[in-house]
Amino acid sequence: MDKLVDNLDPILEGFWTTIQLTMVAAVAAMILGTILGTMRVSPIPPLRWLGAAYVEIVRNTPLTLVFFFMVFVAPQVDILVEFKTSAYVALSVYTAAFVCEAVRSGINSVSTGQAEAARAIGMTFTQSISTVILPQAMRTIIPPLINIFVALTKNSSVAAGFFVTELFASGRDLNLRYPSDGLWFLGGVAFFYLLITIPAGIAAGQLERKVAIAR
Amino acid sequence: MTVTEHGATEAATGQPLVVLDGVNKWYGDLHVLQDINVTIKRGEVVVVIGPSGSGKSTLCRAINRLETIQKGSITLDGKALPEEGKALAALRADVGMVFQSFNLFAHKTILQNVTLGPIKVRNKKKAEAEKRAKELLDRVGIGHQAAKYPAQLSGGQQQRVAIARALAMDPKVMLFDEPTSALDPEMIAEVLDVMVDLAKQGMTMVVVTHEMGFARTAADRVIFMADGAIVEENTPEEFFTNPQSDRAKDFLGKILKH
């Protein structure tokens, strides 16, 4: 316990890095995933194929491999970025595939009549998606989205294996330095993960109620 | 502004507005539209009737390309229907559509349902769009419910809002795809009243319906379809009193018996 309290600073630093990784990747994956999800229902076949290919390739690749690609393969074609940036990109690219599928299923949950009515008053595909379909799809999208966010929070620990000292890495390093107190460090690390995921779950629950629409 | 105004200002009535020329559509092996040739003149009210599965809804939906066709051409105001994209959207803005299942935007208020098109598609100012929307909602008798959501309204009220929403775009032609088929008898009357008013004011209308009363009072022409083809075309008076084809006689015999 003492060692945990004494070494709270590096853990907090790691915690902050984990928050950054999670938040940046969450926002980027939301944007990319929504674009991809929209592509998958687009009237233009090549866009649909592109979206489907992205999901099938990225979703079925282990996250570690995506990291590996960003950190070890990308530099060989002269893409040189900081390790943390690589982690941002890897997490965003990976999570976007899951967001895409949540968005797509949400879009499919809105009755076709809504899209037809939007088209009938002269809205373009993009207008009907953004003003009519997505707002109504939200309540279907949010529950899977929170699962994806929780998975992303925990997935960010993979960055520890790729030279980013986030929450898990700082716990691991302390554990190596003070092996007899290992359990305390790991427990502390777990606590800080919960500090992100549990409030996120509560917030999502409230958001879900807010976007509920009578049909 | 009334419907008569733009009907009259844009061009004289009687000119062809919607022209379907040799239109064909198949669902797999099923030939749902067979060589359809129809010309709808400006200001004309055309009622399409026929048994279920005769292709009348498909015909109606093809006019604003909610259904694609495989052969033939459809022109609106002299312009061919574009295939996709912005040009098609622009054309649809000029064609009002009323659906059997209303399809009001569930997450928008009644007022927003009517202003959304004018603001997003016609780029009107919000205040201007709302003023016009309120006029239209008053006209269909829903003015006092503008702040409610669609789910809070009865079917008949929702359908009248749907008509107002279509009118807000100042359409050249209005398509009605079985607008009263999902309604109780009382509500049917309130929706038909609005439609009869529209017809009187000179709106060009294509109405797919089972309401023979409406066809008799408001239609200039009745098109009778069966099995994907136009079987008979006549004035309502002639059609109902003196049907020519056996198919139409059979159909009328069945529906007018009760």
Q: B138: how many CB neighbours lie within 10 A of its CB?
A: 13
Q: Give whole-number Cα distances, A203 to A16, A143, A149, A196, B107, in Å.
A: 20, 11, 12, 11, 21
What is the 3-state secondary structure of chain B? CCHHHHHHHHCCCCCEEEEEEEEEEEECCEEEEEEEEEEEECCCEEEEECCCCCCHHHHHHHCCCCCCCCEEEEEECCEECCCCHHHHHHHHHCEEEECCCCCCCCCCCHHHHHHHHHHHCCCCCHHHHHHHHHHHHHHCCCHHHCCCCHHHCCHHHHHHHHHHHHHCCCCCEEEEECCCCCCCHHHHHHHHHHHHHHHHCCCEEEEECCCHHHHHHHCCEEEEEECCEEEEEECHHHHHHCCCCHHHHHHHHHHHCC
A-B CB pairs within 8 A amount to 75
% residues pLDDT > 90 (chain B): 61
Tokens of B242: 């003196």
Polymer length of chain B = 258
pTM of the model: 0.83
B172, B17 contact by CB (below 8 A): yes
| β partners of residue B211 | none
Residue carrying the six token digits 């062809």 = B16
Strand, helix or coil at A212? coil
The listed CATH number (1.10.1750.10, 1.10.3720.10, 1.10.260.40, 3.30.70.360) that belongs to domain A2-214: 1.10.3720.10
Tokens of A209: 């109620």
| Residues A172, B29: Cα–Cα separation, whole Å | 66
For A139, name the nearest residue in chain B, comparing CA atoms only: B107
Tokens of B107: 């997450």
| Alpha-carbon distance B106 to nearest alpha carbon in chain A (angstroms) | 6
Q: What residues in B contact A114, CB-CB < 8 Å?
A: 103, 105-106
Which candidate in B64, B99, B103 is best for mutational testing of the A interface (most A CBs within 10 A)? B103
Polymer length of chain A = 215
| pLDDT of res. B12 | 57
- The residue ranges of chain B whose pLDDT is under 70 are 1-13, 258
The amino acid sitting at B15 is Q
Q: Cβ separation of B121 and A116 shorter than 8 Å? A: no
| pLDDT of res. A213 | 61
Q: What is the pLDDT of residues A145-201, one digit of tens each?
A: 999 999 999 999 999 889 888 889 888 888 888 888 888 888 889 999 999 999 988
Q: Cβ separation of A121 and B99 shorter than 8 Å? A: no
Q: Where along chain A do its domains lie?
A: 2-214
| Alpha-carbon distance A145 to nearest alpha carbon in chain B (angstroms) | 21
What is the 3-state secondary structure of B88-121? HHHHHHCEEEECCCCCCCCCCCHHHHHHHHHHHC
| ipTM at complex level | 0.87
Phi-psi region of A200 (alpha: psi -120 to 50; beta: other; left: phi over 0): alpha
Tokens of B45: 């009210």
| Alpha-carbon distance A97 to nearest alpha carbon in chain B (angstroms) | 27
Q: What is the pLDDT of residues B84-143, one digit of tens each?
A: 788 899 899 999 999 999 999 999 999 999 999 999 999 999 999 999 999 999 989 998
Q: Give whole-number Cα distances, B11 to B43, B49, B77, in Å.
A: 10, 28, 10
